Every structure is written in structure tokens, then in C-alpha cells.
Amino acid sequence: MLIQSERKLTSPEGLPGRFWYKHQIYAPGVYTGYEAKAIPAVREAIEQKQWKQADDALRRAAAVLQDEATLVSSAAAKLSAATSAAK
């Protein structure tokens, strides 16, 4: 489940202009070299005043975060059930 949790934060289409970066929550910035940016597609679109692209990126980031939240809830339920069974 830990491996799945990291994969839930990726998107098959990758970042705009950098399809090889699949992670939607952090990635190197386009103009910052290796310096990581949080939610890069949203941040970079806003910085460039590309509002439609920012809106699309925001929806993708929200979707991966929702998937992550679902996985975490599932993991918590399994852990709780295992803990209860062990008592």
C-alpha cells in the first residue's frame, strides 16, 4: 500500500510540456533546474498567467489527492481491523 500511495500521486499524461514527469505534487521547476516545486503544473501555469491550463492542472492535482485520500482511508481501516483482530 505504501508503494501504491506514491503512485496515486502521479498522472499518466505527466506535466504540461514535460510528459516524462508524472508526479503531480512535486517535480523540478521548468526554469529552476533541480529545485523542486510543489504542485508544479498549477504553480507554473499561474506564474505564466495561463488560467485555463492552471484550472486543468488544479483538477488533475485534486483528482490525485482524492485518490490518495481514498487509499489512506482504506489503509487505516485495514490497520484498524488488524489491530482489533490481534487483541
Query: Of the given ranges (21-35, 37-51, 65-79), which has the lowest mean pLDDT?
Result: 21-35
How many other C-beta atoms lie within 10 A of the C-beta of residue 15?
Answer: 20
In angstroms, rounded to a whole number, what is the distance separating the alpha carbons of residues 39 and 17?
15
Q: Where does the chain have alpha helices with state H?
A: 2-7, 40-47, 51-86
The model's pTM = 0.81
pLDDT interval class at 30 (50, 70, 90): confident
